Structure 1
């Protein structure tokens, strides 16, 4: 029962799937529980899922919001029309922002979803940008809405960020540069290979952490843009994938 209380409501479904399908996570759980306690946890979680069938459905509904917003008009035109105060909110450092490089006030912020193929294409370019310009501050906003597994992927990343920004950066790049589709194994393998403390992830998944992706999704709603990646600089909002030249140009525009 003590272990059950450590998990937040929104992560319960993901936690049981991790424990059942991923040897690394299962071993971590087993290290802290007796066989009877583990069975009790899984039984309670299964009951919770059955009593709350709409838990993962919420993420799918967000994908529907994406289609609805995209039908409003040209995405680039909507991005260009994002109000200044909304753009400023994306750039304002807060508890919901993570960092791919540096910290503090970001030069650019990238809105990402681990199920987004364009985000995966962009990730190595952002890493290269940080190497070319080590002083550039690259902020990230986790916005899990494209697929059900986007949610546990984001929660896991945010929990790792609380452990260490460096570990989070490794996790982020591991997951973004993975081979194949997003899966529970891919999420936990990325965390394990990053060197994160997997046993501490459950303790980090508080209501406060779970509110962070919701805050980022609220910013997207204000911008009337449910698309990833979304790149916000001090001068403009850019939707979709960009080249290294375009990224460098965005930095130059900031000057």
Structure 2
């Protein structure tokens, strides 16, 4: 309704009602009439409050929308998962960057493969870890087929006291330039049953180690400090199991298929991350 129409209606109503009779009887001028009309128009110009939403109606609209395309929920979940993965990987990379020196430059690191390789695979292991034993052939294959792969082994004895004793001897073996650590490593995992000081000393002697010196030094500061440093690193990185691999910007818990490791190594060379962004689709035509 236009303002002019509204004014005419108001005039008719006022004149027909008590106010009209009063104004006509009193001979009043039009000032009061104008004021009454102005007040009504002012109330008409005020913004109206939004009507309260009916929850039942809103719920029905949402339900109808989702039922019209049920894949919406799947897409929402996928997007949320992708965003969480991005955030998780960013946090992981930040942790690894903060502890790069402890990971790659520790004095007790055992280096295998190509010391100047363009990709470094770190394995934290325990000599009583059956999964580490099972993953050993894959590690050997990766080093054999990839001449630019550098491998770092870090003693992380967490399964038993025997594991700790074996790791103490292994630290000393790793620092002896006369011993081929890879030979020691393979023989240790070839041992049957749980290994400890006795087995580690026997294997060390087989590959050229001095049994008496190893027995004398195994509880010394060098071996103790090396193992404690790895424990400290594992705590900082929230690593609690073996094997755990560190590759570029990713920590990989558990033994994983060799093809996964190959793919991650290839990605690291291709884009600097173990997970490369998906390639953009090629336009049709």
CA shift digits 1:163-185 (9 cap, x unpaired) = 12752221111112322222444
How many Å separate the matches in 2 of 1:152 and 1:108? 25
Q: Decide which of 232, 237, 240 is 1:226's aligned counterpart.
A: 240
How many Å separate the matches in 2 of 1:181 and 1:104? 35
Q: Which runs of 5+ in 2 are unaligned?
A: 1-84, 270-285
Please state if 1:254 is matched with 2:268. yes
Task: Pick closer, same or farther for the CA change 1:178–1:144 going to 2, 3 Å.
Answer: same
The structural deviation recorded for 1:152 is 1.1
Please state if 1:102 is matched with 2:109. no
The structure having more radius of gyration, on CA atoms, is: 2
Q: Is the 8 A contact 1:103 1:137 kept in 2?
A: yes
Please state if 1:119 is matched with 2:144. no
Q: Decide which of 147, 152, 156 is 1:134's aligned counterpart.
A: 147
Please state if 1:173 is matched with 2:158. no
Higher relative contact order (Cα pairs below 8 Å, separated by 6+ residues): 1
Q: Is the 8 A contact 1:87 1:232 kept in 2?
A: no
Q: Is the 8 A contact 2:131 2:243 kept in 1?
A: yes
Q: Decide which of 201, 214, 221 is 1:207's aligned counterpart.
A: 221
CA shift digits 1:29-56 (9 cap, x unpaired) = xxxxxxxxxxxxxxxxxxxxxxxxxxxx
How many Å separate the matches in 2 of 1:210 and 1:184? 14
Q: Is the 8 A contact 1:227 1:240 kept in 2?
A: yes
Tell me how many residue pairs correspond in the alignment. Answer: 179
Q: Is the 8 A contact 2:127 2:163 kept in 1?
A: yes
Please state if 1:150 is matched with 2:163. yes
Please state if 1:216 is matched with 2:237. no
How many Å separate the matches in 1 of 2:178 and 2:267? 27
- TM-score, structure 2 as length reference: 0.56
Does 158-167 or 144-153 show the bigger shift? 158-167
How many Å separate the matches in 1 of 2:204 and 2:178? 13
CA shift digits 1:107-128 (9 cap, x unpaired) = 1100011111111111221112
Q: Is the 8 A contact 1:111 1:142 kept in 2?
A: yes
How many Å separate the matches in 1 of 2:242 and 2:268? 22
Corresponding position of 1:85: 97
How many Å separate the matches in 2 of 1:153 and 1:110? 17
Task: Pick closer, same or farther for the CA change 1:164–1:250 going to 2, 3 Å.
Answer: farther
How many Å separate the matches in 1 of 2:216 and 2:193? 29
Q: Which runs of 5+ in 1 are unaligned?
A: 1-76
